[in-house]
């Protein structure tokens, strides 16, 4: 079945540092890829998505590019803020698994002022 | 404002009791989902419904039941058969259950079994 592996945390950064969270996947065919963010005690919010190879999703300064050749969808942000402290989840869905969303374990990011 | 509401936010239950978690959406979405989140883990799918009066088991359906009698509502019952029910439960909805549509999540219900 489909699966997602993302970088283990926790990750601690200083404000204005560069953030990268690695995400690789295993799937049959051409899945859609997503990054979700979860703030403490809340539900998940969609951060960005990409639905075909070489697509770049972007939102709020975050970017991720759908790389079919390396089966990756790494999340990046050039200059983080304290407000970016959250848990980040990489996820995918594809036809081989009835379009069910499969999540990575999540990466906790803490940004210090 | 359109969105997904879950109630209650915190729920306490004694062992052996069934409990029902509410999920309502006013986004006019066809598909709805229930997930379970445990500390330090990703989300696991319990049940999903692609359309009214239809639902399918997810990866961890044992000990749970659902109904989908109305488009906007998808309640989850945690039965006494669920061995370890203490967790954070998240409801989600999507315009359609397909490759492209993203899921929108509610704020969650934290269930604690005493």
Instruction: Closest CB to A105: pick one of B42, B58, B90.
Output: B42
- A19-50 pLDDT tens trace: 999 999 999 888 999 999 999 888 999 999 99
Query: In whole angstroms, what is the distance from residue B25 CA to residue B92 CA?
Result: 9
- B69-81 pLDDT tens trace: 999 999 999 998 8
- B50-71 pLDDT tens trace: 999 999 999 999 999 999 999 9
Is the CB of B58 less than 8 angstroms away from the CB of A100?
A: yes
Which chain B residue has the Cα nearest residue A90? B42
| Average pLDDT over all residues of chain A | 95
Closest CA to A97 of A23, A27, A24: A27
Query: In whole angstroms, what is the distance from residue A21 CA to residue B17 CA?
Result: 41
3-class DSSP state of A51: coil
Question: Is B2 at the interface with chain A, CB within 8 A?
Answer: no
pLDDT of amino acid B1: 64
Is the CB of A34 less than 8 angstroms away from the CB of B90?
A: no
Is the CB of B90 less than 8 angstroms away from the CB of A94?
A: no
Closest CA to B89 of B27, B52, B51, B47: B47
Strands (E), chain A: 3-6, 11-14, 19-21, 23-26, 32-38, 44-50, 56-59, 62-65, 75-77, 86-93, 102-103, 107-112
Residue A9 has pLDDT above 90, yes or no: no
Query: In whole angstroms, what is the distance from residue A71 CA to residue A75 CA?
Result: 13
pLDDT of amino acid B94: 95
Per-residue pLDDT of chain B (114 residues; tens, 9 = 90+): 679 999 999 999 998 899 999 999 999 999 999 999 998 788 999 999 999 999 999 999 999 999 999 999 999 999 988 889 999 999 999 998 888 889 999 999 999 998
Q: Which of residues 16-55 of A touch B (CB under 8 A)?
A: 31-32, 34, 36, 41-46, 49, 51
Best of B25, B43, B55, B59 to substitute, by most chain A Cβ atoms within 10 angstroms, is B43
Alpha helices in A1-113 (DSSP H): none
| Residue A50, min C-alpha distance to chain B (Å) | 9
């Amino acid at each position: 079945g489909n699966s997602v592996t993302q970088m283990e945390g926790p990750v601690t950064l200083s404000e204005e540092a560069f953030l990268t969270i690695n995400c690789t996947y295993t799937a049959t065919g051409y899945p859609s890829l997503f990054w979700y963010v979860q703030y403490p005690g809340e539900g998940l919010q969609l951060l960005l998505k990409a639905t075909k190879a070489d697509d770049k999703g972007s939102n709020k300064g975050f970017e991720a590019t759908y790389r079919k050749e390396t089966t990756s969808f790494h999340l990046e942000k050039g200059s983080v803020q304290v407000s970016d402290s959250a848990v980040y989840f990489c996820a995918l869905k594809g036809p081989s698994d009835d379009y069910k969303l499969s999540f990575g374990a999540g990466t906790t990011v803490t940004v210090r002022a | 404002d359109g969105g997904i509401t879950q109630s209650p936010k915190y729920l306490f239950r004694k062992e052996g009791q069934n409990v029902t978690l509410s999920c309502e959406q006013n986004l006019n979405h066809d598909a709805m989902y229930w997930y379970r989140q445990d500390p330090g883990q990703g989300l696991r799918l319990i049940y999903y419904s692609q359309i009214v009066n239809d639902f399918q088991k997810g990866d961890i359906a044992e000990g749970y039941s659902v109904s989908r009698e109305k488009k906007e509502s998808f309640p989850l019952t945690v039965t006494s058969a669920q061995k370890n029910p203490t967790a954070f439960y998240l409801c989600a909805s999507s315009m359609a259950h397909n490759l492209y549509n993203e899921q929108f999540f509610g704020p969650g219900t934290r269930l604690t079994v005493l």
